[in-house]
Amino acid sequence: MHLLCEIEKRTDMSQPNDPTQTSAQDGAAAPYGGVPPAGGPARRRKVTVRTIADMRQAGEKISMLTAYDATFAAAADAAGIDSLLVGDSLGMVCQGRTSTVGVSLEDIAYHTQCVSRGLEKSNGAALLVADLPFGSYHRSADQAMASSIRLMQAGAHMVKLEGGGWTTETVRFLVERGIPVCGHLGLTPQTVSALGGYRVQGRDEDGAAKLLRDAGELDQAGASMLVLEMIPARLAAELTGAMNSCATIGIGAGSGTDGQVLVMHDMLGLNIGKMPRFVRNFADGSNGVQASFAAYARAVKDGSFPVDAQHAW
Ligand code: KIV
């Protein structure tokens, strides 16, 4: 817990031209918690697109967690999480909305900057992925490019977009221009209205075949990662085996994917409503937030989370 409680003691955090930062000359430590100091404990090597590909190749499970601000980002990174996702789930967990549809590009850019600063100040290693929100990539590849530039300039290392088929050419367009991309198939929350609710996808033969086809196309188009949300475990494992180079990251997709992602508030047991089946509360029995993050990272790495019979379909 020291990460979240310790008063910031470093003096190198102050930005000369930023009046909101406490200056070193003030002689006072900045209040309100703060991110852990850079260069403290042994630091990991930066996680890059290449690292992700190597982990997939080596069969090392990839841990991903959502993050929305500097302090939690630094704590998750220090706990050994491989990748942080500034998800449009922030619409629910930060903004109190009922869906992700109202989240704007500027909302994501703002939270990406916050997370990026947390990683920078703590000399963090995690790969930072930012969601392209609803409406920010749907019109054209040019629009997707402009939105991606905004998020990359806010500090993202990769952008994530939802959907298959129509997104393939957009993914190719971005990847060819140097923007690493993570896809998202299965339950795609931005189109929850069209899907008729938050329900498991790919249960019937046609749905499963479409998911396999869409995933193959995203892989071919150069997507580095692919989130698979709420699809049957057996299908997710088959799809993962069929990928050429793209790493699959499951959420409610069973244990056969290359990695796992959870929404931070859910795995800390802070979900106000009914906890989704695919979540484990890692704060239960853990000593504080960072220990919960570390328990999650460990459970993903050693394969003890998720348990198919319990967390998947
Ligand atoms: O927005 C988000 O947090 C996500 C994850 C649930 C994968 O897309």
The pLDDT tens digits for 166-182 are: 999 999 999 999 999 99
Residue 106 is among the residues annotated as catalytic for this protein: no
Cβ(161) – ligand 1 distance below 6 Å: no
Q: How many Å apart are CA 223 and CA 309, to the nearest integer? A: 30
Q: How many Å apart are CA 57 and CA 9, to the nearest integer? A: 41
Count of Cβ atoms closer than 10 Å to residue 269 Cβ? 15
pLDDT bracket for residue 216 (50, 70, 90):
very high
Residue 141 predicted with pLDDT over 80: yes
Please name the residue whose Cα sits nearest to atom 5 of ligand 1: 87
C-alpha of 197 from chain center: 22
Q: Which 8-state DSSP code applies to residue 229?
A: E
pTM (2 decimals)?
0.91
pLDDT bracket for residue 44 (50, 70, 90):
confident
C-alpha of 24 from chain center: 34
Cβ(88) – ligand 1 distance below 6 Å: yes
- pLDDT, position 38: 58
Atom of ligand 1 nearest to the CA of 249: 7
**DSSP letter string, 56-76:** HHHTPPEEEEE--SHHHHHHH
- pLDDT, position 36: 64
